[in-house]
Amino acid sequence: MPGLLVDLIKADAWSRIIVQARYLLQFSRRSCPPTAASLLLQGGGAGLAVSRQPFPEPTTVKTISSLLASLLLAGASSLAHAGTIDFDNLSLADWDVIPGTYGDHGAGGAGDARVGVSYGGSSGATNYLLFWNNDYGDLNKVAFTPTNGTLARISFTADPGWLISSVSFELAGWPNVDLLAQTIGAGIGPVTASFAPTTVQGDFATPPRHSSFGLGTAGASTAYIEWGTDWNIGIDNISFDVIRDPAAPVPEPGSLALLATALGLAAAGQRRRAARH
């Protein structure tokens, strides 16, 4: 009873899932002679390696297709993707407006392709934030509200099939001073957290020279960060985690296309050998 060993490897920047399944095949008719050849298809972050003896019959190929699709789905649903917005990719002067698309679905090399990002300043009066290069504690290249005495806000919206499960960020005071923040908050869906009033670090006397904040949940399609009301409190090193929505798990199209190609080649090869024998 020949064996077919299937190694399914699914990887991203944070995690690697290696699923190994041994599927025993039993034939009702004579098999073609085994070959030493093997089929290897790789693309993007996923690979499918099939180490073969005789090719299975088409009905068995369909069975394996269902098995591998299930494995792909299980692996993809458990992966988390991290998005980061730190403004380091921007070459701007102090007081310049940060582009409204920066970090939106990965624009500018920031954020994550699965998440939309928008900015709001001056307590909602503007749809942008301003840029400053240094002296916000030990943070460089930060964002702040355009009008002193107002709030700044960054909003996140996940694409269908994805959820935002955590947000974190760092604040510091300018010029290298500790400052009182009247408002520091974060929200993920209906879950919100308030961290203020509190003193935001920035001076040289007591490290670290910035303050860190974060919120984690089971996940929701929207999230936000809000802080103020002093425009001398700037934000940097924003990070958020993106996970599959368990209510609507969808395998990655690239992985399924790769799987379909491999199985199609397997079935075609089997039919050609069956015709010769």
Query: How is the chain split into domains, by residue range?
Result: 3-78+250-276, 80-244
- Collapsed DSSP state (helix, strand, coil) of residue 236: strand
Angle, CA of 80, 81 and 85, to the nearest 5°: 145
Residues 6+ apart with CB under 8 A from 121: 127, 128, 129, 130, 145, 146, 147, 150, 152, 153
**The predicted structure's pLDDT at residue 215:** 98
Tens of pLDDT, residues 34-89: 433 333 333 344 444 444 445 455 555 555 555 555 555 444 444 678 999 999 99
**The predicted structure's pLDDT at residue 34:** 42
**The predicted structure's pLDDT at residue 40:** 34
Q: Outline where the chain has alpha helix (H).
A: 58-77, 253-276
Confidence at 248, pLDDT banded by 50, 70, 90 = confident
**The predicted structure's pLDDT at residue 80:** 72
Contact 247, 214 (CB under 8 A): no
Q: What share of the chain is helix, strand, coil (3-state, %, to 5)?
A: 20, 40, 40
Give exposure, 76-105, as e/b (b: 16+ Cβ within 10 Å): beebebebebbbeebeeeeeeebeeebbbe
Tens of pLDDT, residues 149-181: 999 999 999 999 999 999 999 999 999 999 999
Please name the fold of domain 80-244: Jelly Rolls (2.60.120)
Contact 226, 183 (CB under 8 A): yes
Tens of pLDDT, residues 191-218: 999 999 999 999 998 889 999 999 999 9
Mean pLDDT estimate for the chain: 78
